[in-house]
Structure 1
Amino acid sequence: MREFEVEKVLKESLENTPVGEKITLNFSGVSNIIDVEMTFKGGWVVTQTIIPGKPFEFTKGEDGYLTGINITINPFDGLKNV
C-alpha cells in the first residue's frame, strides 16, 4: 500500500532541506512497525525498521545519489493469544 501523505512530506523535505542537514519524519500515533528502504546509485540499499514512537532520521546528501525511498507501514492486528 502506498503512503501518499508520507511520500508528499518526504519529497517536500528533500527539496527544502540543505545538504548536510538532518531530516526527521515522525510517525506520531502510528502503532505499526514501519520499514524504510533507501536505494542509492551503485546498487547500495539501506534498510531500517522503525518501531512505534521512534522517528526516521537521516542527513541529506548531495543530489543525484539517492535513487529511491520505499516506506511500508506494516499491518498490525493487535496482540494475540498463543
Structure 2
Amino acid sequence: MQQAPHPYVGMWVTEDGHVRHHLLPCGRYDEARGKRQSSYQGRYWVTGNHIDYVDDTGFTADGDFADGVLYHGGMVLSREE
C-alpha cells in the first residue's frame, strides 16, 4: 500500500529565489543555492508542522511550517506557485 504524498511536498523558495528546497514525495530533498543546483541532498520527515532534515553527509537541520511558510535556519521560504 503506497502512502499519499505529504501536503508539504513541492518546491519552497526564499523571497529572493536564492535558496530552493525541493521536498520530494519519496522523503528526499534537494536544496539549491544561487546558481548551484543540488547544493545539499538528503532525506526529510515531517511530524505535524515540524520538518527534520538529514543531508547525505549526516548534517541535521530542522524547521517549522506556519501559515503557508517554511521557517528554516533563519530563512523564510514560501511555496513556489
The structure with the greater share of residues assigned to strand is 2
**TM-score of the aligned structures, taking structure 1 as reference length:** 0.31
- Using CA pairs below 8 Å that are at least 6 residues apart, which structure has the higher relative contact order? 1
**TM-score of the aligned structures, taking structure 2 as reference length:** 0.32
Specify the structure having the higher radius of gyration (Cα): 1
